[in-house]
Structure 1
Amino acid sequence: MNKNTLLLAGRPVRNLTLAVMAVISLSACTQQKLAQTQTELAGARECLVKQQEQNQVIAQQQASLIEQLQKVQTQLSVQQTLLEEQPKVIHAPAQPKMDCPPPPPPEKFLSSQPPLSDKQIVGLREQALIAGLNFVMQARISTNVANSVIDARNIQMFERNSEEWVRFTIYNPETKEPHVLERKRLRFQTVQTATSTNPDRRPVVEIRFTIGKLSQRGEFVLADRSDSEFPMLIGRNLLRDVMLVDVSGNYLAPLQRAEDAAPKN
């Protein structure tokens, strides 16, 4: 083989021009093939990116479906628990209908007026007659006060037959005449006043009085009520079971004086 002979693809090429052309042709094919391969690779990468995005969307949809399914299962479980806790209703067999006779007509009152109550009806203001003194005190009726109070002055404690008694003075509201009374002390009542920080212990005695048709003995707390319009205050302890209060009226119980005044105590 001489110096002008070349090897191409393992074969001798004797013409230099042909060899160069063959090399150029082979290089062009290689570059074209490489460009085609890169284009296909770029397309494959783009498809891979789109497929990954689709996979993410599908994964998100699957997670949302799973969450909704869990919520539905929870609601079904709660409903099943409520159904199990509800008592079972047992339907009793239907009873045969019985024809009952009509009820008898109500009895008619002999009078159109309702039966009268034995309780004394009083208003917010009444006149109270003090037994044994035969004078009248203006009384305030109050359902907000527990214990009744009467105006008493010069209160003194003393002992009689080994028992505690109370001597006090009651004034006639009309003549201002003093009347000294003595009563056995029943107990002490603790009263909180607005003018003192310490509560006062006031004696409680029993006094007979009359309001309307009602005459009874009642427990009264002795206190100085000289500044009050009403020297007597009737509370719940005397109203209970014997008086009915009509808050819309005053002096509903007519005053009943004794024909002969009892001797003074």
Structure 2
Amino acid sequence: MKEDTKDKLSLEKKVIGRRELVSFPELNIDEIEAKVDTGAFTSAIHCSDIHEETKPDGTKVICLDLLDPSHPQYNHKKLEFEEYDLREIKSSIGEKQERYVIKTKIRFFDEVLEGEFSLSDRSDMKYPVLIGRKLLKGRFIVDVSRKNVARKFNNRQKKK
């Protein structure tokens, strides 16, 4: 690849670190720590009490608690989603698991993007949110030597 083409591609994509503080505007979660994981295809968000219910009108919904009571940003709100999928997702240890997947908005830098997130119990994981390749592709370059790049960018923007 020509040098000028490489430079152009890098300019179009934002650099992020191995860890970032992200927000979920539709879920009322601000600045939650996320692990950027280029080894994972699908992004994931920590939820508890994940179950499917049928409403009186016959509509199926997925119900959940975002995070869990032990997490500092737990807001005690039960969430419902009418639009969701049930997919086979490979876990971090390579096991296939059926997981519910929702679409929601996520904020990086000053951009709000829509992404797919599998719902899983990540209580045994260090980070409640995992950002996978599908969300990163074509938008970001990951610099594993850095962290919280988006937050530092936002702080600089506020000072201007």
Please report the TM-score for the alignment, with normalisation by the length of structure 2: 0.75
Letter in 2 for 1:171: L
> Is the 2:46–2:120 Cα contact (8 Å) retained in structure 1?
yes
- Consecutive unaligned residues of structure 2, counting only runs of 5 or more, are 1-6, 156-160
Q: 1:125 aligns with which of 19, 26, 33?
A: 19
The answer as to 2:62 corresponding to 1:166 is yes
CA spacing shift, 1:175–1:203, aligned 2, 3 Å: closer
Q: 1:142 aligns with which of 37, 43, 46?
A: 37
Percent of aligned pairs sharing the same letter? 23
SS at match of 2:150: coil
Question: Aligned partners of 1:122 and 1:150: how far apart in 2?
Answer: 19
In the alignment, which residue of structure 2 is the partner of 1:182? Answer: 80
Find runs of 4+ consecutive structure 1 residues off by over 3 angstroms: 159-164, 191-195
Moved more, 229-238 or 178-187: 178-187
SS at match of 1:220: strand
- Consecutive unaligned residues of structure 1, counting only runs of 5 or more, are 1-113, 258-265
Moved more, 171-180 or 202-211: 171-180
Question: Aligned partners of 1:142 and 1:183: how far apart in 2?
Answer: 26
Letter in 1 for 2:39: N
In the alignment, which residue of structure 1 is the partner of 2:133? Answer: 236
- Return the offset for 1:242: 1.5
> Which of 1 and 2 has greater Rg?
1
Aligned length: 142
Instruction: Please list the CA deviations of residues 43-70 of structure 1 after superposition, one character each: whole Å capped at 9, or x if unmatched.
Output: xxxxxxxxxxxxxxxxxxxxxxxxxxxx
The answer as to 2:50 corresponding to 1:152 is no
In the alignment, which residue of structure 1 is the partner of 2:98? Answer: 201
CA spacing shift, 1:237–1:247, aligned 2, 3 Å: same
The CA RMSD measured in Å over matched residues stands at 2.8
Question: Aligned partners of 1:214 and 1:223: how far apart in 2?
Answer: 25
- Return the offset for 1:136: 2.3
- Return the offset for 1:163: 4.8
Which fold has the larger relative contact order, with Cα–Cα distance below 8 Å and residues 6 or more apart in sequence? 2
In the alignment, which residue of structure 1 is the partner of 2:145? Answer: 248
Question: Aligned partners of 1:186 and 1:177: how far apart in 2?
Answer: 22
Matches within 5 A, 1:47-126: 117-126=11-20
Greater fraction of residues in helix: 1
